Structure 1
Amino acid sequence: MTADNDYLDHLRRHLGEVVEREEAQDRGYGLLEFRRETPPLSTVTTDGLRSQGLTALAPVELACTLWEGQRHVARHLVDSMAQILLRNPSRLIEYGFVVENDEALLKGTQIHAVLGCPSPFFRDGFGLLKEESGNINVQTITLLPITAGEADLVRDEGEDALFAAFWEKKPNLLDVTRETVA
């Protein structure tokens, strides 16, 4: 499946041009990679997950934005998370979900989980593509790499508590090698 024109135009407005496209093949979704030069960001999104009948409030796609030099990590997280969600199609996918691992997801980092949330990097409607009627056509959920302590904080106090800690300590959320805030 390829991104329909409205959705692809929506992504381009926020993320820049597509620099790499991986077709769906047998997995039910493709991957799109976008890059911005200033600052040097890479965003990987799913393309076609919205057609897979997942349990969500609206048809959903996933995205992960990291520094351009960590684009392979963004691609890995988006692809792995999409596969996990497809294996558990009855799991409700909405803002605030956390998927964690007992060990670091990425060797040499403290990242043990991802948080599904609105993008902290792209505002102005990035997360929702709406029809003229106001109905949501596609919801794009950003996967934010988080540490085990941060996942615990979300579980114990909610995602607002984590974002308050991010606001206070100002970590570089585009860098998977960052220190934890919890």
Structure 2
Amino acid sequence: MSADKQDIATGGGAHRFVGLAENLEHHAGRPSGAEPPNVRGDNRGYGLVFFQLDEYHLTTVISSGLRFQSIGADPAQELACTVYREQAEAARYLVDLTAQLLVEMGTHVTPDQVIPNEQPLLANTEFHGVLAGGHPLFPAEFTRFTDADGVEQLQVFTLLPVTLGEINFVLDNGVSALRQQWARFEVDVFDLGRPSVA
């Protein structure tokens, strides 16, 4: 398929993301696997790519293709979730679930947005939602991808699981206060076995 046809097939403008894969790999580690958009049969509009950061024993799952969907985001968006390697399947599930929600609703995430859920998102946990924002470990260049001219083309929002208590805490005190609580109690936000701070 030619580049022009590829642009048309993916919603146009793929050239804006030249160097994105290398940028993600530079921060998130070596690619270790991928899940195609049609993994469940129909094309869901995005795939998932797995990265391993061996130094910290972390896996980051990042959506690939959400940026070409009609979700009203400017700049375009992708989603990420970083956890300890043993919990990679949970990160895959959280990115897939959230991306699917955005595609179905034709909407996008905003910085420090909490996306709640009535039931726990993961079995045997208190996580009732995710907080979308910058990455707690990676630099701003991971979250905000710019083209060769320095124009921001993409934001990669990192999903941090939050408990029901933490969601209620955010409603009363705001996201900044929750981040302060995490810092105060030295919460490891990459550990899905962590306790709630609220």
TM-score in same-fold range (> 0.5): yes
Q: Distance in 2 between matches of 1:133 and 1:11?
A: 18
| Structure 1 unaligned spans of 5+ | none
CA contact (8 A) 1:129 1:138 kept: yes
Q: Describe the superposition over 1:27-69 as per-residue Cα deviations: whole angstroms up to 9, x where unpaired.
A: 0001000011111000000000001021223100000000000
- Counterpart for residue 30 of structure 2: 17
**141, 149, 163: which is aligned to 1:147?**
163
Structure showing the higher helix proportion among its residues: 2
User: TM-score scaled by structure 2?
Assistant: 0.86
CA contact (8 A) 1:128 1:136 kept: yes
CA contact (8 A) 1:57 1:94 kept: no
CA contact (8 A) 2:18 2:147 kept: no
**Which is higher, the Rg of structure 1 or of structure 2?**
2
Secondary structure in 1 matching 2:165: helix
| Structure 2 unaligned spans of 5+ | 1-9
User: Counterparts of 1:1-182 in structure 2 under 5 Å?
Assistant: 5-25=18-38, 26-89=43-106, 91-182=107-198
Alignment size in residue pairs: 181
Percentage of identical aligned residues: 34
Q: Distance in 1 between matches of 2:71 and 2:174?
A: 24
User: By how many angstroms is 1:92 displaced?
Assistant: 4.3
Aligned AA for 1:82? A
CA RMSD of the aligned region, Å?
1.7
Runs of 4+ aligned residues of structure 1 deviating over 3 Å after TM superposition are: none
CA contact (8 A) 2:47 2:64 kept: yes
User: By how many angstroms is 1:181 displaced?
Assistant: 0.8
User: TM-score scaled by structure 1?
Assistant: 0.93
User: By how many angstroms is 1:87 displaced?
Assistant: 1.2
Secondary structure in 2 matching 1:87: helix
